[in-house]
Structure 1
């Protein structure tokens, strides 16, 4: 007996399979329709951007955008997302919607949108002078993002800034003679080969130096470490590895080289999960000021006795006692100078490279120098007549006791402000507040278009509907098939 054939299209009720397929076709064809339309038509374009800097408080940005073929609802304050990121090493994107701050606003006219927003730079949102910001605007419902062609450089607009270029770095300054600047560049350029050989960084990214005429004029632009340090002008400069720049309160080739060496060192360990101990970071910078250990050795011999020398295990971070600080810096420079002068700069560069790959300090040191760190430390102490340190019966060292140096401000001490008298053991008051770069939510550095956790775009909603309808249709199809009676042969 022949099996009867059925024409599904002539059936009074269309087969569920065709209903399922038709539903998918309709949904897929409508999915992300606005994205397709935006990308196939005229894209939005930034036609004007005005920047006003209220130094020490905020950066106000007014941007005019031609929307092209994009259609926005003036009531939808989340239709455009504003993104900004300071340029540097490992910096992250911040974002805002106009509704997130009363200072942001939309103004629609002639298919243009005016976006007014602020980047906070005051208390709790410190950025050093010279920081450059990249600005982008994302049209959230169209998966379209545009970038401003001009970055915003954060500088005090009341100063007449000038610029000069050295070997791999630029100097932004005011109130200093050009001859003095170019003399400094000539001196610092002569130090670059030693800096590169010691850190192993031969092709650094562009580095920027912001130089003020005096420490007093620079201090308001320094990060707040303590009020006492601010009042006494305890620091003469700060390296900012995160932003690949440093701020200095005087035109001095040694302190300039010191800060430059910090940035090279931090580039050498840019991939490390942790930073490096302060004695190594400061020791490299101190030694490279002149390329000799003698200045640090002479200062130690003139100001401390052999019994005053610190153990490296106690120098993982900069100490809090004023007298210990006065010992810490020259001792760091003297010890690192000893390493370079006895073993060669390539071993120190290898140490940084091993730390950058994730090796712990003591393990990395022995691999790079072929001798345990404690043995080398005792060899150095013997030069000053100090008693050797005894290895503990149990290994109590902790490579993670030092601070993560990758995202902090690295200060340069003004030795003249220190009283190294043995009777002066006062604590250096410290402000332990952690400064957030912005109070706005943070987002993925490598994917600035990613949606925040509490924000669903139209594309997300369409995708959810597609999944839900497909699931329900599949369930209905399954049940329909089960209810269909089997045909008799």
Structure 2
């Protein structure tokens, strides 16, 4: 009996110790048992996101924070969270000042500071931040998903067929592989599409690729031109994704004229307006130097389409004149970090300006040559005029004396 009494006393003493510790230091027990559960989000794209969760058990806390970050972004945003007496956590993020990118995975977690100063972190939670303004329809084929909200199944089928045709065209230009998981979102208007890009973006933009996220957005309004626009815009944006897959981190070093030139070359239905733009620019002596198109394109309504036109025709000239292998060498040079000028010199053994002059002569030959010849002959024409006019002036003066 003595041994049984000793065991009972030990057990009772241990229980009393735990109870006393829990009473004297409630945070010690709470920190080990409290959890963040029933997490979830509600949002309206571009306006607000409401983060919700619940503490289990609903113990008092001194402070609660939420930290979240979109995939592909470096900055983490941290804000105070409201906690009600029942342990409900709520935070509403207004996006008017700092919008989040669409079609990204957002990771978030809660950090609690208990009344005794103990810090408790929740596990990380994630959700896909979609454009939920529309009731999307979708179709999948292999690793490609196409979504649209206006039009029938024929639109989705046409877009997904064009992806394969665009891939085939791209492979005639460069050595590229099939895209990985690719999401294509088709908007019925440019204004609908621009809401997921920059609110201050250029209205001339009708498509955009985010290669790092494997996402393409394109405006394909209903109407008789929709199929032709599909054959332009989908292969164009697809080429950006393929080029990113090919170059990785070196993608950002590819000059704008080459990036957009290759994308335009991949279009199944080339833009007929480019030729007209170039011819008018030649007549008005308003062609843009390609060196000015290395970093970015102009944003004005005249310069932007002209920059696309020049980039397309110059890149096509390089492809036809020197072949695909030279383009591959050029891309490799830029991927290795060479500058816009040095990359050209490394791949072609010539300067960008010299190659640009070659292209201008080949593309606009007679008009450009005539202009250059006149400029070169101008001093001689002035001398010739003086020689011819001098006898005439002397003759007129002699007649007046008589």
- Of 120, 126, 132 in structure 2, the residue corresponding to residue 156 of structure 1 is 132
Q: Return the offset for 1:266.
A: 4.1
TM-score (norm 1): 0.57
Per the alignment, in what secondary structure is the counterpart of residue 127 of structure 1? coil
Q: How does 1:195-210 map to 2 (within 5 A)?
A: 195=170, 198=173, 202=177, 204-210=179-185
Give the drift of 1:236.
2.0
Once the two structures are superposed, the pairs formed by residues 123-272 of structure 1 within 5 Å of their partners are: 124-138=97-111, 144-148=121-125, 150-157=126-133, 159-166=134-141, 168-195=143-170, 198=173, 202=177, 204-225=179-200, 229=202, 233-241=203-211, 243-250=213-220, 252-272=230-250
1:305 is matched with 282
How far apart in 1 are the matches of 2:199 and 2:79? 30
On the 8 A contact 1:165/1:171 being kept in 2, the answer is yes
Q: 1:324 aligns with which of 298, 303, 306?
A: 303
What is the rounded CA distance, in whole Å, between the counterparts of 1:38 and 1:268 in structure 2?
Answer: 52
Pair 1:75–1:199, CA change in 2 (3 A): farther
2:317 is the alignment partner of 1:338: yes
Residues 348 and 114 of structure 1: CA distance in aligned 2, closer, same or farther (over 3 Å): farther
Aligned residue pairs: how many? 328
**Cα distance per residue 1:165-210 (max 9 Å; x no partner):** 3564422221121112112211221221443675655365533222
Give the 3-state SS of the residue equivalent to 1:305 in structure 2.
helix
Check the 8 A contact 1:241/1:262 in 2, yes or no: yes
State how far apart, in whole Å, the 2-side matches of 1:43 and 1:348 are. Answer: 60
Q: Does residue 255 of structure 2 align to residue 277 of structure 1? A: yes
1:106 to 83, 86, 109: 83
3-state SS in 2 of match to 1:59: strand
Using the TM superposition, give the Cα deviation of residue 320 of structure 1 relative to its aligned residue in structure 2, in angstroms. Answer: 4.5
User: Is the 2:183–2:215 Cα contact (8 Å) retained in structure 1?
Assistant: yes
Q: Give per-residue Cα distances to partners, 1:237-273, cap 9 Å, x unaligned.
A: 3334454423322162311222222333345454249
Partner of 1:401: none
SS of the equivalent of 1:322 reads coil
8 Å CA contact retained: 2:103, 2:128: no
CA contact (8 A) 1:279 1:315 kept: yes
Deviations 1:207-236 (A, max 9, x none): 32221122344344441236xx5xxx4332
Within 2, Cα distance between the matches of 1:367 and 1:219? 38
Deviation at 1:161, TM superposition (A): 1.0
Distance (Å, rounded) in 2 between the aligned partners of 1:38 and 1:340: 68
Structure 1 residues 91 and 372: CA distance shift in structure 2, 3 A? same
CA distance in 1, matches of 2:77, 2:348: 46
* 5+ long unaligned stretches in structure 2: 1-27, 221-225, 373-402
SS in 1 for 2:63: coil
Instruction: Tell me if the contact between 2:329 and 2:347 (Cα under 8 Å) persists in the aligned partners.
Output: yes
8 Å contact from structure 1 (residues 129, 155) kept in 2: yes
Please state how far the C-alpha of 1:82 moved relative to its aligned partner. 2.4
**Aligned-partner Cα distance in 2 for 1:82–1:121:** 16
CA separation in 1, counterparts of 2:325 and 2:273?
21
1:143 & 1:42 partners in 2: Cα distance? 10
> Would you say the 8 A contact 1:64–1:115 is kept in 2?
yes
Report the CA distance shift for 1:275/1:300 in structure 2 as closer, same or farther (over 3 A): same
The answer on 1:74 being equivalent to 2:61 is yes
> Which deviations, in whole Å up to 9, do the C-alpha atoms of 1:17-74 show, x marking residues without a partner?
xxxxxxxxxxxxxxxxxxx9999x7784x6423322233211112123547xxx9751
Change (3 A) 1:244 1:143: farther
